[in-house]
Structure 1
Amino acid sequence: MDMTPFRPRLARNVALGLAAVVLVAAGALVVLMGGLTGFDRASFVVFGLLIVWFCWRQASVRAVPDEDGLTVRNLVVTTRLTWAQVVAVSFGDRPWVQLDLANGDTLAVMGIQRADGEYAQGEARRLATLVAAMSSTERDD
């Protein structure tokens, strides 16, 4: 089985590019704008760093499979699931894959995003195949 992590392509590239632009722009504003107080300069830097942190979080979303389960790192929360907890994988019309869980909840997997087109469709199929293979039992119930 292919245990390669699931990561978005487009969102990752856009987020990293935006982070670079924000770093350069915030630095340029601090250097080039005259008449700023120390507080103003610090505010620009902190605001820029907050945007860069958010972009980094977006760029680092992923789902990492292993023999025991799946670790899903979304924008804010990281969730660890065993294979038995995952009932189904669906894409539907959502922007990212959803996992139906045994307890009735759903969990978004931002590591597979519709914006990636055919690549995302293939990754959703790969995840569904992995779930089916890793959660099957002798009776396959």
Structure 2
Amino acid sequence: MPVLSTGDKIGFALVGALIAGFLWRQASVTALVRDDGLTVRNLLFTRRLEWAEIVSVRFGSGRPWVQLDLSDGDTLAVMGIQRADGEFADAEARRLATLVAMHTTTTRDD
């Protein structure tokens, strides 16, 4: 039976740690709603948005997750609401769109 060298053991430990870190980050993907805005934690980045920065919420046309259109012209995926979650994802997308509409409505809503 071959014996693993110290380098092999370290390599296995590093690969295991990388896989565990990736799985932890994937499991922690979320969209956290607060009174003053939304925090979107995706696989690589976390972004904090005020309600006024969010122009619209889209979740159609075969998109794998909710997409936010932002006031600066950028878009942001919300990986915490994924098409694979079926009806739950549809309900969460509607809830998020309702929250955006509630927090961005003005007296003159053009």
TM-score by length of 1: 0.74
Specify which structure has the higher proportion of helix. Answer: 1
Q: 1:61 aligns with which of 23, 29, 32?
A: 29
Q: 2:45 aligns with which of 77, 80, 90?
A: 77
Alignment of 1:11-26 (within 5 A): none
2:40 is equivalent to residue 94 of structure 1: no
Q: Which runs of 5+ in 1 are unaligned?
A: 1-32
Match of 2:87 in 1: 118
Q: Aligned equivalents of 2:9 and 2:100: distance in 1? A: 50
CA distances 1:28-62 after superposition (whole Å, capped 9, x unpaired):
xxxxx841001101110110110010000000000
Q: Aligned equivalents of 2:16 and 2:94: distance in 1? A: 38
- Counterpart of 2:56 in 1: which secondary structure? strand
Q: Aligned equivalents of 1:133 and 1:61: distance in 2? A: 24
**Aligned positions, number:** 109
Q: 1:135 aligns with which of 87, 104, 107?
A: 104
Aligned-residue sequence identity (percent) comes to 64
Specify which structure has the higher proportion of strand. Answer: 2
Larger RCO (CA under 8 A, 6+ residues apart): 1
**Deviation at residue 139 of structure 1 after TM alignment:** 1.7
**Deviation at residue 138 of structure 1 after TM alignment:** 1.9
Q: Aligned equivalents of 2:2 and 2:38: distance in 1? A: 51
Match of 1:30 in 2: none
Match of 1:8 in 2: none
Q: Aligned equivalents of 2:103 and 2:2: distance in 1? A: 61
Q: Which runs of 5+ in 2 are unaligned?
A: none
- Counterpart of 1:122 in 2: which secondary structure? helix
